[in-house]
Amino acid sequence: MSGGDADAQQGGQDDRDHQGDHGQGHGRSRDQDGEGGGRARSGRAAAHGRRDDTGDRAASDEDDILGADSDADPSAKGGGRFAAGPGAAHFARETRSVFLRDASTYVGGTINSVNFRFGETVRGALLAGPLPEDELLRLRRRFIAPPDYEDFKRQLREDHLIVLCGQPGSGRMYTALSLLDDLGRGNVSRLDPGSDLAGLDAGDEDSRIAKGHGYALEPADGRLPAELHLDRLRRLLADRESYAVLLSVPDPGDRGTGGGRARYERRHRPAAEDAVLDGHLEAELDGGPTGAGEAARRMARDARVREALGLEALLPAEAARLAGVVARRITGDLNEEQLLAECRGFAAEQVRAWFAGGGAGAETPSVLREAAFRVSLAVFGGSSVNIAAEAAELLAWELAVTVDPERMPGRPVLGDGLEARLASARATTEIRHQPVVAGRLIPVRTVRFRGTALAPAVLAHLWEHHHNMRGPVLRWLDSLCQDGREEVWVRAAVAAGELCRLDCAHTLGELLVPMAEADQARRGLFVATALQVVLEDPQTGEAVRALVRSWARSGRGNLRWTAAVALSWGTAARTVGEALTALGGIGTRDDGALRFVAAQGVAHLAGFTTDREPLTRIRSWLNDSRQQHQNLGLASTLLLADLTVEHVWNPAEELGGRERWPLALAICATRPDLAAEVAGLLWTALCTSRSYRRALDILAGWLRTCRGKAWEGDVLRFLPLLILGEDDRQRLTWLIGELCQDPDEPLEPEHAHRLLQAVQASPAGGAR
């Protein structure tokens, strides 16, 4: 420890002994005090500590504090700065909010379906099931016509055949049955999904089309006959004065009507949600008590119900199902909690339908790409379309290799239409402003699910019901960690945390612990970001805190580095004091090898809580006789002044609206009672040789950039707190003069005048 540092330590003790000496004179100048400095000169000196006057003349060993460490290779774990910019914290908070939903598990229930399959069908046989009378009556009573219903009816009357193309649950089957009922006068049948329309024979008794009858069919494999066979079917139907409506789902790459079916295919647009919902509510509560219908309509639109649903717009099948659930609540069959639990199951049912029914033979490249796109949306909802689409292609490659390891998968180049893919994933695009260029907000075309419940439901369903998806998804997330864009690796990390919450032991062992042990800094950041999701879970949080504590004490530097970043969030320890103690141990061990990352964690904790405990701990390190502790205190002080609020991983609510402020000034603005302590820490850094030059540069940055900013007045109020004697005033005056004479970016004269006024107006010694 240098002589100046020893004096600073002793002076700090002297200051504590004289905290009550407010207003006892201005004290002595440096010439009066001598080389080591003298006693404190006012009550505020207790917060400032003791001066190391050698800092005014030399800074030959300043790199011991920040210089070399701050320039460390950002790709390697060490004493260097977190390899993350201000956007990382923004993306982490935004993505975490996607998964902060009720975690109640939904079991049971299905979306209304009218398709059945009874086994393999003999080629050429026409197996039809007449629509039961009660279902036909239900159809006539509840059906709400979609926008193009009359056009559909006119085409069906003329051609006897129509193909309705739309998403499952959009009311296609109800529309088909209603069209056939209108034209067939109640003679309506559903065809077996395995029916072979191409093998029908007009002379075969088993496959004969009934006269004046209507048929509805959705093929089991989703494939319809070619146009040649549809033409033949149309002629058979016309000969028998019958009608058929076939259902299809648009291919994700389909940008328009199918080439071979263009003559018959029409896009099905669902009926308005409100009309379907009200119509079904009226039918469900017909004959019920007076006012039941109005009460049901209000309940179906209640904010709590809509939040539990987590879907922006309900498909007709879902609206009908919601009407039934609400009606049961109105009649007393369900209580409120049961109602909300049923509503939470809607998103789970949608996801179950998305990933259901895929055998090895059915897992075609198109199916895998569609599944990958939905998983990518769960992770990158709110990101740019390009990021979500590219990540989906990477996952599709992992899935394809898993399904067929011997085959090298490729990508379609022209056969991929975004609009159809968005429709199949219940997604939408919008323009949002995001910090993706130098931390500045720019307009970006982003993509997201149309509902907050779908993203967590996708990850939960995969992790609980599709074990073979785990390996490809974890490898995918690991590869995304290598992407330097904060929007990519941060969102991937939050998704990894959600998967860890769903199965902590598996995800830790297979992904997060190996990453925590790796040399790359971004892997440690990835792990720390992921763990925040798990730490907030009451079932796993305490176990993960114990894991972070063990990493903080580990003999492996990479684990200690990762622990320091995790502790900087403020949730990886039971208290802020416990986190500060752990960071102190990390930052002072091995001659301060990880001092920088520990100090940055301390600065982040100072932004996490507006309590004085982080500042008090920094002061205790500065006053410690051990040099490594002093160095940690100095490094923490410098980073407290250097960071802006937007860099803080988990900032306190009080700091909201001050994202571009220096963290130290934001703390002073929100907690004026802490201003003297903050100024005291920076004063000590300015008066210590090892930190003097860096502290002066940080202060110069404040003076240069505050002009016209919301925090300019806070700088003017802060400067007097740095003055305990005339030498302090002279230093600040000299600094302002140097900035005014900068040949490249001199201070504006008016701005410099205001700064000088603030410095000159402060009484020497700070007595008030």
- Could you give the C-alpha distances from 407 to 110, 398, 400, 553, in angstroms and in order? 36, 12, 8, 46
Q: What is the pLDDT of residue 768?
A: 32
Q: What is the mean pLDDT of residues 21-32?
A: 34
pLDDT tens sequence across 158-209? 999 999 999 889 999 999 999 999 998 889 999 888 777 776 665 554 457 8
Adjacent-strand bridge partners of 440:
437
Q: Which residue carries 């400095």 as its tokens?
A: 37
Give the C-alpha distances (Å, rounded to integers) separating 187 from 27, 127, 211: 105, 15, 10
Alpha carbon distance 126, 201 (integer Å): 10
Residue-level pLDDT at 25: 32
Q: How far is residue 709's CA from residue 703's CA, in Å, rounded to a whole number? A: 11
The pLDDT assigned to 610 comes to 78
pLDDT, one tens digit per residue, over 692-748 is: 999 999 999 999 999 999 999 999 999 999 999 999 999 999 999 999 999 999 999
CA-based R_g, the chain, Å = 34
CA-closest candidate to residue 91, choices 387, 307, 308? 387
Q: Are 488 and 387 in contact (CB under 8 A)?
A: yes
pLDDT > 70: what percent of the chain?
79
Say whether pLDDT at 765 is over 60: no
The 10s digit of each residue's pLDDT in 267-289 is 999 999 999 999 999 999 988 88
Q: What is the pLDDT of residue 603?
A: 97
- Distance, CA of 587 to CA of 601 (rounded, Å): 10
Q: How confident is the model at residue 577 (pLDDT cuts 50, 70, 90)?
A: very high
State the pLDDT at residue 409. 85
> What six digits make up the tokens of 113?
């379906």
| Domain ranges within the chain, ordered by starting residue | 128-267, 273-354, 358-534
pLDDT at residue 26 is higher than 50: no
| 35 vs 5, higher pLDDT | 5
Tell me what the pLDDT averaged over the chain comes to: 83
The length of the chain in residues reads 768
In which residue are the tokens 């004697």 written? 725
Contact between residue 677 and residue 612 where contact means Cβ atoms under 8 Å apart: yes
What's the rounded Cα separation, in Å, for the pair 319 and 169? 10
Closest to 90 in 3D by CA, of 563, 450, 484, 440: 440
| CA atoms of 593 and 322, how far apart (whole Å) | 60
**Number of alpha carbons in the 13 Å side-chain half-sphere of residue 31:** 1
pLDDT tens track for 421-450:
898 899 999 999 887 676 678 899 999 999
As a whole number of angstroms, the distance between CA 361 and CA 532 comes to: 40
User: How far is it, in rounded angstroms, from Cα 370 to Cα 149?
Assistant: 29
Query: Which pLDDT band holds residue 563 (cuts at 50, 70, 90)?
Result: very high
pLDDT at res. 407: 86
Closest Cα to residue 95, out of 604, 362, 585, 492? 492
Contacts of 242 (CB under 8 A, 6+ apart): 160, 184, 209, 210, 211, 212, 213, 214, 215
Residues of the chain by 3-state class (helix, strand, coil), percent to 5: 60, 5, 35
Question: How far is Cα 458 from Cα 375, in angstroms, rounded to an integer?
Answer: 7
Non-local (6+) Cβ contacts of 666 within 8 A are: 607, 645, 655, 658, 711
CATH class belonging to 128-267: alpha beta
